[in-house]
Amino acid sequence: MVFILIPAYNPSKNLVEVVKNLKGLGFDYILVVNDGSKNECNSIFEKLKNSYDCLLLYHTHNQGKGKAIKTGIQYIIQSYPECTGIITVDADGQHLPEDVKKVFLKFQEHPNALVLGVRDFQQKNIPLRSKFGNILTRKIFAIMAGYKLSDTQTGLRAIPINFAQKLLCLKENRYEFEMKMLLMAKEMVDGVYEIPISTVYVEDNISSHFNPILDSLKIYFVLLRFVFSSLSSSFIDFIVFTFVFLVTNSISLGILIARLISGTYNFIVNKHFVFKNKRSFIFSFFLYWLLVIILGAMSYLGIKYLNFYTKINVLIAKIIVETFLFLLSFFVQKEIIFVAKNKLFYKK
């Protein structure tokens, strides 16, 4: 059994057509969560219940799309233990019934995988705010997750029931919930599949409650924490290095002392604040300082090279070298030091 789950906030009459068409394709189990919609929408929900035998749940006030999905997941797990998966569908009619069917069929082939219905954002009819929001989140997501997705904002997703249950532990209740789901999938499902779907926008997507800038900042709060950690560590490193170099005129001693102080600070902040990693402290500490030693050697060689061959000031050379090493450090910490064992999982 696979459930269709539709979170709805102030939906238009398009929602009735969505449910009607899904019923026509044989989807008998449809749950709609009214996320605190205004009273004017009551007739829509009543019609879903009376005319299409649709299950309905209600929030007394708006709590966010993520919360509505979690409410639906919890109800399905408790009431239908035989359910094997949940397909989330947006309420505005952007997901065509035949595309939902395509995602469902792929999910039947891979019942332990996350299946995404992805849109083509290269088309000319894409609203500017939707195209901007997707490009922004795609780029940053690729940096954070270590793999690329064509559409990080898609609401059409087939979710294995075991994975859906784990999503109930997430604190995120709004659009960032869906992004956190994609990040979690890397370690908790047996593959992520992308299924191309039609790109449909109803009335230029004016019904969307997604703000591409504010909601993207919420989605990538983990990345913002990492940036803060890195910048503050770099500041400490630069201050200590400058002081030691000015006193001793020794590049190697400056790097050594600066790395010891800023590195210890960075490790503690990244493990407990940025990545909130539960891996063994000793093992993580060993890997981290191995990285510090390698990056320190690369920093030393880079600064010496720029200073000797290009006559660039040592402090300027350090800024240039550390900028390049920043990205390398990010990927190694994210993919090796502060994550659990991963597997190759992304599939087209």
DSSP structure class, residue 345: -
Token digits for 191? 């593959």
103 in Cβ contact with 177 (< 8 Å): no
Give the model's pLDDT for residue 342: 41
Helix axes 175-188, 128-145, angle to 10 degrees: 30
Measure the CA–CA gap between 77 and 2, rounded to whole angstroms: 11
Listed in sequence order, the residues at least 6 apart from 28 whose beta carbon sits closer than 8 Å to its beta carbon are none
Measure the CA–CA gap between 245 and 253, rounded to whole angstroms: 8
Look-up of token digits 């009607």: 20
Q: Of 196, 192, 194, nearest to 120 (Cα)?
A: 196
- pLDDT of the chain, 348 residues: tens digit per residue: 999 999 999 999 999 999 999 999 999 999 999 999 999 999 999 999 999 999 999 999 999 999 999 999 999 999 999 999 999 999 988 899 999 999 999 999 999 999 999 988 766 666 655 666 677 777 777 766 777 888 888 999 999 999 999 999 888 888 778 888 998 888 789 999 999 998 776 554 444 555 555 555 555 665 677 778 888 988 998 999 999 999 999 988 998 899 899 888 988 988 887 776 777 788 888 988 898 889 889 988 999 999 888 888 888 888 888 888 877 887 788 768 876 444 334 444
Give the model's pLDDT for residue 272: 80
Give the model's pLDDT for residue 128: 59
Q: Checking phi first, is residue 237 left (phi over 0); if not, alpha (psi -120 to 50) or beta?
A: alpha
Give the model's pLDDT for residue 219: 57
pTM higher than the cut 0.75: no
Residue 23 burial by CB count (10 A; 0-12/13-18/19+): exposed, middle or buried?
A: middle
Measure the CA–CA gap between 53 and 31, rounded to whole angstroms: 10
Q: What is the largest CA-CA distance in the chain?
A: 82
Q: Of 172, 166, 50, 31, nearest to 89 (Cα)?
A: 31
Q: Of 192, 195, 194, 175, nearest to 184 (Cα)?
A: 192
234 in Cβ contact with 262 (< 8 Å): yes
194 in Cβ contact with 149 (< 8 Å): yes
Give the model's pLDDT for residue 323: 83
